[in-house]
Every structure is written in structure tokens, then in C-alpha cells.
Amino acid sequence: MKNSLGVFLASFMLWAFAGLAVAQDRPLIEIDMSGGVIEPIPVAIPNFIAENSGAERLANDIAAVVINDLISTGLFREIPGTAFISAVTNFNASPQFEDWRVVNAQALVTGAVSTTTDGQLVVKFRLFDVFAQAPIGDGVQYVGSAEGWRRMAHKVADTIYSRITGEAGYFDSRIVYISETGPKNDRRKRLALMDYDGANLRYLTDDSSIVLAPRFSPNARDVIYTSYANGLPQVFLMNLETGRQSALIEDALNMTTAPRFSPDGTKVVLSVIEGSNTDIYLIDLNTRRRTRLTTDGAIDTTPSFSPDGAQIVFSSDRTGRPQLYVMSANGGEATRISSGDGSYNTPVWSPRGDMIAFTKIKSGRFHVGVMRLDGSRENLLTASFIDEAPTWSPNGRVLMFFRESAGVSGAPQIYSVDLTGRNLRRVDTPGFASDPNWSAVLR
């Protein structure tokens, strides 16, 4: 046995070295590439194959959601079905790569949908590199209830996105925001929840009281927000599964605003307004014990945890104009990181941990921008009459914010923009929308 293995290994080495010798017959030239392009990757996604009679509609719908997810990133371009010269009729058959190469598809997605007798939905897909004529990873299959077909489609898109770009997807996620209706001087505000693409909208509160600044918990099961239900702005906590809500601090004398969860979900950091002073406090959700983190007489507000929970970035006007500061999650000395002209607000730490998004007001214009943790490489991504309240996608690639137009008829709408400043898109919502917050990818 040992000898056989040795002979095999030796034969393999002979073959490998012989091949190497043949390949090296040709003269070698070493070249440094330059240039390159930044453009969406052409991807062909034919309709998924319905493997039984009850799955035709869902097969088409799922393919449509996958296409929409990928196209919305700005990194992919759909090759229209009318350009196809080849059809995928068998999920297990190898595709005719040359046919897809002719239409300039760089990636090909084939999928199939079936329903089981017990009402379960089965979605499976494969991803191919057309020019390499090879699959990109193994095929994947999802099984779930038919009601959750959109989530399954988002999962498929997340996997495709991850395999082509190398970073995690963000399509299977949700947005909580403030839905606004009515005229500008009598705007009604409700807490609303939807999928990242605007589907499955539902309202969490009525318009009897003003609500502001909703934030997801890390597991996306709870939402914390500011409500005027008691007459003063106070932070409330809502469980999305039960709908139960309660004031975070039973203290009617002080106003609390700008809450945000810690990465482990056990604490909340927020601003407490005491008289003319606003400071940042840390609330332990188990004991409801509060810890004061800032003690100066300035307005310290809009705190946001770093992904590791060790630091907090916040806005403060202690030097006269709102600027961004970073301090330990236990409080103490704060270091100013913003240094440009104008004022900075609503900082949010990136899920990747390498950047901080913010709102900047300069020369009467609002910007959403990003900077490094030390304040360097500030990059303003947008400019408008009002651009405010950025929130990161779960993978730290995209920012969502709201933009309000000027004038009496001006109203807020939610937009998204890529980290590079490309692919500015409006997110469809019924009515006006402001103050979005992006959840983590759902489990």
C-alpha cells in the first residue's frame, strides 16, 4: 500500500514537472497593468426554472427580486432576456458558455424553484463565471415557507453578491424609519418598518404623537426611538415581535433623545437634556442603571458605538460649533476628530469599523460624508438643501439617509448612496420618509 502510494506520488510529480517544462519553453514577459475601468458587471439571470406546476409565478418573481437586488447596488448590470440566445431548461445541465459569452455576460445565474407537498418552497441556484467557464462556488438551496419567498430571493442575491464582490450582502435586511404625512406645518409622523427595498411595509405606531430617530437593536428584534407621547421627548423601547413598548427611563423631568444600542445589545447610549445642558448617558438595559459619560456644559449628543463596543463617537459644541469627538465607552477624555470648516452632526460608526459617516453643514448646504477614524480623508458624498441622518448598510458599503427639498412643499425622502459617492438612488416609500435606520442582515 505504501509503495503504491509512493509510485502514484512520484508519477504525479513527473507529470507535473513535465508540464512545467513544456510551459516554460516560451519566453516570458512581465508586464504591469495600468488603467482599468469601473463599470457594472454584466450578469445574465434567466427566469428560474419552475420544477412543478405550482411554482411558475414564484420562479419568475424570485428571479425578478434577485435581479433588482443586484442591479440596485450599482455593481451589476442586467443583460435583458431579449438578448439571450440560449435558454436554461435544465438546472442540472451545464450551460452553453459560448452562448452567454456572445451576449457579453460575465456571470450567469441559473435557478430552479419547486414547492413541496407540505407547502414548503425550495429555491436553488448556481453561479457561473462565463469567461472562465467554471462555477463560482457550489450550488445553494434554500427551503422555507412560501410566504417568505422574498427573503429567500434576498438570500440568493446576498450569496451571489458575496461570491462576486467578496463582501457580505445586505439585501436580507430591514429599514425602520419615520413615515410622514400631511402639510409641512402639521406633519404627522409614524414609525414604519419595511424590507430594505421598500417591500413588506408596516406601521409600528399611529400618528397621535411625534416620533423621532428610531434605531434597530443588533438582532433587529427591538427598536428604540424618541417619542413625545408623554409630552416631552423620551426614549422608548419596542419589541417588534410583540409590539410592546415602554419608556426606557421613567423620569418625567428629563428629556432623552438620540438613543443607540451597543453592539452586544445590552446597553443603550443616549442624550439626556437637563435644563440647558445635554450630556451622554449609558443605560444598562438589564438594570436600567444610568452612567453619565460626559460632564461638560456643552451639548453632547448623537452618540454611536464602535463595532467592538469600546468607543463612542458623538457630536459636541464644546468648542462653539458642533464637531465630532471620540471617547471611551466608559466616558472620560474625548478626542476631537473633525477639523474641517462647517459643523458636524449625527456621526455613525461603520460596521466595518474603519470609517465614520456624518452630516456636515457648510455654507448653507447639507452633506452626508465619511471620514477615517482620525478625521482624515473626509469625503462628502452628497450635497443638498438638507441631507441628514446617515445609516450604514450591514456590510458598510452603502449609506442611506433622508433628503428634504426646499420650499413650502418640501418633503423628506429616503436615498441611498454607495460609499464611493456613486449610485445615488431614491428608496421608494409610500408618502414622505425620514430618519432611516438599517438593520443587520436578518438571521
Which residue ranges make up the site for other proteins (CB under 8 A)? 2-3, 6-7, 10-11, 13-14, 17-18, 20-21, 23-41, 75, 106, 129, 131-132, 136, 164-167, 352, 354-355, 377, 379, 397, 418-420
CA-angle at 170, arms to 131 and 144, nearest 5°: 90
CB of 158 to other proteins, least distance (A): 15
Q: Which of 37, 33, 52 minimizes the C-alpha distance to 114? A: 52
Exposed e or buried b for every residue in 299-315, given b needs 16+ CB within 10 A? bbbbbbbbeeeebbbbb
CB of 112 to other proteins, least distance (A): 25
Q: Which is nearer to other proteins, 126 or 174 (CB)?
A: 126
Cβ atoms within 10 Å, residue 32 = 4
Q: Which is nearer to other proteins, 21 or 93 (CB)?
A: 21
CB of 92 to other proteins, least distance (A): 24
What are the phi and psi torsion angles at 99 (to 5°)?
-65, -35
CB of 350 to other proteins, least distance (A): 9
Q: Which is nearer to other proteins, 5 or 253 (CB)?
A: 5
Give the span between the Cα atoms of 262 and 307, in whole angstroms: 8
Q: Which of 55, 74, 78, 56 minimizes the C-alpha distance to 66? A: 78
Q: Which is nearer to other proteins, 106 or 382 (CB)?
A: 106
CB of 419 to other proteins, least distance (A): 5
Give the span between the Cα atoms of 199 and 193, in whole angstroms: 9
CB 186 within 8 A of CB 438: no
Give the span between the Cα atoms of 278 and 299, in whole angstroms: 5
Give the span between the Cα atoms of 372 and 183, in whole angstroms: 39
CB of 311 to other proteins, least distance (A): 18
CB of 192 to other proteins, least distance (A): 29
Q: Cell 443583460, residue?
A: 79
CB of 323 to other proteins, least distance (A): 21
Q: Which is nearer to other proteins, 9 or 143 (CB)?
A: 9
- Kindly report the length of the chain: 443
Q: Which is nearer to other proteins, 28 or 406 (CB)?
A: 28
Give the span between the Cα atoms of 8 and 52, in whole angstroms: 47
Q: Which is nearer to other proteins, 26 or 443 (CB)?
A: 26
Cα–Cα distances in Å, from 73 out to 39, 134, 401, 416, 424?
12, 24, 16, 10, 10
End-to-end alpha-carbon separation of the chain, Å?
48
CB 335 within 8 A of CB 325: yes
Lookup: cell for 96: 452553453
CB 434 within 8 A of CB 414: yes
Q: Which is nearer to other proteins, 35 or 320 (CB)?
A: 35
CB of 67 to other proteins, least distance (A): 18
- For 330, the 3-state DSSP assignment is coil
Lookup: cell for 202: 408596516
CB of 402 to other proteins, least distance (A): 22
Q: Which is nearer to other proteins, 47 or 165 (CB)?
A: 165
Q: Which is nearer to other proteins, 164 or 191 (CB)?
A: 164
CB of 212 to other proteins, least distance (A): 31
Q: Which is nearer to other proteins, 179 or 382 (CB)?
A: 382
Q: Which is nearer to other proteins, 36 or 407 (CB)?
A: 36
CB of 9 to other proteins, least distance (A): 8
Give the span between the Cα atoms of 113 and 51, in whole angstroms: 6
Q: Which of 102, 108, 38, 106 minimizes the C-alpha distance to 66? A: 108
Q: Cell 455613525, residue?
A: 348
